[in-house]
Amino acid sequence: MARRKLIYEGKAKILYEGPEPGTIVQYFKDDATAGNAAKHAVVEGKGVLNNRLSEFFMAGLNGIGVPTHFIRRLNMREQLVHAVEIIPLEVVVRNVAAGSLSERLGIEEGTPLPRPIIEFYFKDDALGDPLVTEEHILAFNWASQQDLDDMVALALRVNDFLSGVMLGAGIRLIDFKIEVGRVWDGDFQRLLVADEISPDSCRLWDIETGQKLDKDVFRRDLGELADAYTEVARRLGVMPKQGRAGGGPKLVH
Ligand code: UDP
């Protein structure tokens, strides 16, 4: 009999049934994809780094009362999380213009925004995750008005937390994406930050030099992705100081 049951395999993670009802084991792969998987590579050590970084951010959020799905890290590539019903929206928060916002609206990358801007994208690979409005979300019943209000509140709290943590590490949080899940307590539903928070889903620029320390390094062929993520982890004190993740026994502890 298999050790555990596969629930879902995505581009960067695999979900397995957890040891207790209502739990899931989230496994971080080394695969990197961009442009809706048009570009793909295996980046040795990325899964280990993202497992650690996502643990760091989610545990930090739990610690300040922002509810997340994170329970505990199990090993180098796996973490135990609450099973949630994922709301089929990507919630993007932007502090500085970059990426698709810059392209869509013709705003130069790096232009500070007058206030954090929140956007919703419908999670559908076949459609390329299109930008949607609250009207679409409510009309098609992807989320309720209450869910939307709660998602905005969660997203802004995550933004404040992440911005502060990054600032302390000499990093500017340009934008990021979160996913939100529902859990049920009897008839009550609660929303949790789910999926992952890692340099795969954030834009992170060095405060001094503007150097990119996120997945744009891969999307735009700017260098070694694992080096950028290792630098983020090092600055946050998340990983041992020397060496790349993924290889040596020194990383096991
Ligand atoms: N993002 C993500 N997954 C996606 C799309 C975007 O994690 O499927 C993140 C991305 O890393 C960036 C932010 O959301 O931090 C905003 O991305 P944008 O809309 O600019 O799209 P992109 O330029 O990445 O296509």
pLDDT at 239: 77
For residue 131, being part of any structural domain is answered with yes
Residues 67 and 152 in one domain: no
pLDDT at 36: 87
pTM over 0.75: yes
DSSP string, 14-62: EEEE-SSTTEEEEEE-SEEEETTTTEEEE-TTHHHHHHHHHHHHHHHHH
C-alpha separations of 247 from 13, 19, 36, 218 in Å: 19, 28, 28, 20
Rounded to an integer, what is the distance from CA 50 to the centroid of its chain?
A: 9
- Does 176 contact ligand 1 (Cβ within 6 A)? yes
Residues 183 and 93 in one domain: yes
Residue 252 has pLDDT above 50, yes or no: no
pLDDT 10s digits, 156-215: 999 999 999 999 999 999 999 999 999 998 999 999 999 999 999 999 999 999 999 999
CATH code for the domain of 229: 3.30.200.20
As for how many domains the chain has, the answer is 2
Euclidean distance between CA atoms 229 and 175, whole angstroms? 16
Rounded to an integer, what is the distance from CA 126 to the centroid of its chain?
A: 21
CATH code for the domain of 121: 3.30.470.20
Residues 56 and 159 in one domain: no
Residue of the nearest CA to atom 10 in ligand 1? Answer: 201
Residues 55 and 97 in one domain: no
For residue 161, being part of any structural domain is answered with yes
Residues 24 and 124 in one domain: no
Euclidean distance between CA atoms 175 and 102, whole angstroms? 12
The rounded Å distance from CA 122 to ligand 1 centre is 13
Residue of the nearest CA to atom 19 in ligand 1? Answer: 100
Residues 201 and 120 in one domain: yes
Euclidean distance between CA atoms 181 and 66, whole angstroms? 13
Residues 75 and 27 in one domain: yes
- Does 120 contact ligand 1 (Cβ within 6 A)? no
pLDDT at 3: 74
For residue 135, being part of any structural domain is answered with yes
Residues 75 and 97 in one domain: no
For residue 219, being part of any structural domain is answered with no
> CA dihedral defined by 47, 49, 51, 53, rounded to 10 degrees?
-150
Residues 22 and 122 in one domain: no
pLDDT at 2: 57
pLDDT 10s digits, 78-126: 999 999 999 999 999 999 999 999 999 999 999 999 999 999 999 999 9
- Please identify, by atom number, the ligand 1 atom nearest to the C-alpha of residue 92: 14
Residues 72 and 98 in one domain: no
Work out whether strand 131-132 and strand 171-185 pair parallel, antiparallel, or are unpaired.
unpaired
Sequence letter at residue 144: S
For residue 46, being part of any structural domain is answered with yes
pLDDT 10s digits, 147-162: 999 999 999 999 999 9
Residue of the nearest CA to atom 24 in ligand 1? Answer: 99
The rounded Å distance from CA 201 to ligand 1 centre is 6
- Residue-number span of the structural domain to which 59 is assigned: 6-83+225-251
For residue 69, being part of any structural domain is answered with yes
* 3-state percent helix, strand, coil for the chain, nearest multiple of 5: 30, 35, 35
Chain position carrying tokens 């957890």: 18
Residues 157 and 102 in one domain: yes
For residue 218, being part of any structural domain is answered with no
Among candidates 245, 252, 191, which has minimal Cα distance to 28?
A: 245
Among candidates 102, 69, 30, which has minimal Cα distance to 180?
A: 69
For residue 212, being part of any structural domain is answered with no
**227 pLDDT band (50/70/90 cuts)?**
very high
Residues 197 and 109 in one domain: yes
Among candidates 200, 215, 36, which has minimal Cα distance to 128?
A: 36
Three-state secondary-structure class, residue 168: helix
